[in-house]
Amino acid sequence: MSHRRHEIPTHLNVEDKAFYGLSARQATYLIVGISGSYGLWNQWPYLALAPRLAVALACLAVATALALARPCGRGLEEWVFVILRYAAVPKAVVWRSTEPESSPLWPSAARWEELAPRVIWKEGL
């Protein structure tokens, strides 16, 4: 009996499908959105019907958009991160050279050609 070899491509950059053609990330967002909508609907019984329905549907719409919308091949959560990072990074950068610190080896008043090395071993003689 011959053994068949199957090559499994690992370089495709494609998410695995978990449920009904949805990836695990998409299924998780939808489950959290449905749970949140149900929780909002049940936990506010004293609210009128219209605001309760609006809040629950808004939660479901946000979860659906996060799960299914992928503009330019990126999820909305990645775009939120990109926008927040763009807002946090300074837009203009100024380069200023710093003055070197003065030290006994580099006196600030002397010019380069006037510097003479100090021989420590000769001082004791």
Cα(28)–Cα(39) distance, rounded to whole angstroms?
16
Amino acid occupying residue 4: R
The whole-model pTM stands at 0.58
* Rounded average pLDDT over 96-124: 65
Which position has the higher pLDDT, 60 or 117?
A: 60
User: Which residues are within 8 A (CB) of 88 and not within 5 positions of it... i.e. 6 or more apart?
Assistant: none
Which position has the higher pLDDT, 14 or 43?
A: 43
> Could you read off the pLDDT of 28-77 as tens digits, one per residue?
999 999 999 999 999 888 889 999 999 999 999 999 999 999 898 888 98
pLDDT at 115: 63
pLDDT band for position 104 (cuts 50, 70, 90): low
> Could you read off the pLDDT of 80-94 as tens digits, one per residue?
999 999 999 988 888
Helix ranges (DSSP H) in the chain: 24-43, 49-68, 76-88, 120-123
Which position has the higher pLDDT, 96 or 66?
A: 66
The H or E element spanning position 118 is none
Whether 110 shows a pLDDT value over 60: the answer reads no
Residue 23 forms beta bridges with which residues? 17
Which position has the higher pLDDT, 45 or 1?
A: 45
Which sign, positive or negative, has the C-alpha torsion 58, 60, 63, 65?
A: negative
Q: How many helices (H) and strands (E) does the chain have?
A: 4, 2
